[in-house]
């Protein structure tokens, strides 16, 4: 099936970079302490999740390296988001822009499927 949109290469690349950077940021966040600054652990006094009491251990806070990496990835995510959302290609469309933007999010998967 032919793709209904002819996305420019720079837009495709920016969208793929956005996906990859978002995944890298999510993976980093899963490894970070629960608090940016050092904080004592705590346990909820109520059952906040059904019958579970929520408890957090002491947080050492983020290291300087972790803080810098979070900032770098957030800045990259913002730059890529702006690049994708304000790309001049969107002004050339006569079709539904929302549908085109959704198609762009999956364009790399379709290209991989065709290559396989």
Structure token pair of residue 67: 């803080």
Q: How many domains does the chain have?
A: 1
CA-based nearest residue to 9, from 112, 95, 107, 110: 107
Can you give the pTM of this predicted structure?
Answer: 0.82
Confidence of residue 22 (pLDDT cuts 50, 70, 90): very high
Asked if residue 84 belongs to a domain, the reply is: yes
pLDDT in tens, 56-114: 999 999 999 999 999 999 999 999 999 999 999 999 998 789 999 999 999 887 666 56
Confidence of residue 1 (pLDDT cuts 50, 70, 90): very low
Asked if residue 19 belongs to a domain, the reply is: yes
Asked if residue 49 belongs to a domain, the reply is: no
Please give the pLDDT value at position 54.
81
Angle subtended at Cα 83 by Cα 88 and Cα 97, rounded to the nearest 5 degrees = 50
Range of the domain at 85: 9-34+62-115
């Amino acid at each position: 099936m032919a793709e209904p949109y002819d996305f420019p290469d720079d837009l495709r690349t920016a969208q793929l970079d956005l996906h990859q950077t978002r995944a890298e940021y999510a993976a980093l966040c899963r490894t970070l302490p629960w608090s940016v600054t050092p904080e004592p652990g705590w346990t909820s006094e109520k059952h906040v999740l059904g019958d579970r009491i929520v408890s957090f251990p002491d947080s050492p806070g983020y290291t300087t390296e972790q803080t810098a990496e979070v900032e770098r990835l957030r800045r990259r995510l913002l730059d890529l988001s702006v690049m994708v959302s304000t790309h001049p290609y969107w002004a050339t469309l006569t079709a539904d822009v929302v549908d085109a933007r959704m198609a762009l999010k999956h364009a790399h998967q379709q290209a991989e499927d065709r290559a396989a």
